[in-house]
């Protein structure tokens, strides 16, 4: 399967612990997005990379959150000192952006975080 891959699919942690999620986008996709989705709501944008550069961050991305895409391929999203409010599904999406192309987003199946 050459779709967007996210790991782990499920993570249960205690409040105050750090967690890290990994996203492997579709090969050669130059754009990568992180979204967060809570129960019954639509996904909310967190941050976006074009190649290795993080170009936009939502105000939802507090200083406890950090995202990287070191070589312009896979990306990690780390949450430090987790809080119960961080419990959500974390979705990764990728797209290939070229001139004249609106760039459909391909989403992974998400990483579900439960903070106890």
Q: Which of 42, 34, 109 is nearest to 78 (CA)?
A: 34
Residue in 50, 66, 73, 87 binding other proteins, rule: CB under 8 A: 50
104 binds other proteins (CB under 8 A): yes
33 binds other proteins (CB under 8 A): yes
CB closer to other proteins, 48 vs 79: 48
3-state helix, strand, coil in the chain (%, to 5): 5, 50, 50
* Number of helices followed by number of strands (H, E) in the chain: 0, 11
Q: What pairing do the DSSP bridges indicate for beta strands 44-50 and 53-57?
A: antiparallel
103 binds other proteins (CB under 8 A): yes
77 binds other proteins (CB under 8 A): no
Binding site for other proteins (CB under 8 A): 4, 31, 33, 35, 41-45, 48, 50, 55-56, 91, 93, 97, 99-100, 102-110
């Amino acid at each position: 399967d050459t779709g967007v891959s996210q790991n782990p699919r499920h993570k249960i942690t205690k409040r105050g612990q750090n967690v890290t999620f990994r996203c492997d986008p579709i090969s050669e996709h130059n754009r990568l997005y992180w979204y967060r989705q809570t129960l019954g709501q639509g996904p909310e944008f967190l941050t976006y990379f074009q190649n290795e550069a993080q170009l936009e961050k939502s105000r939802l991305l507090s200083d406890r959150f950090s995202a990287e895409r070191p070589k312009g391929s896979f990306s990690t999203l780390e949450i430090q000192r987790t809080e119960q409010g961080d419990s959500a599904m974390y979705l990764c999406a990728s797209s290939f952006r070229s001139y004249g192309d609106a760039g459909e987003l391909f989403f992974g199946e998400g990483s579900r975080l439960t903070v106890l």
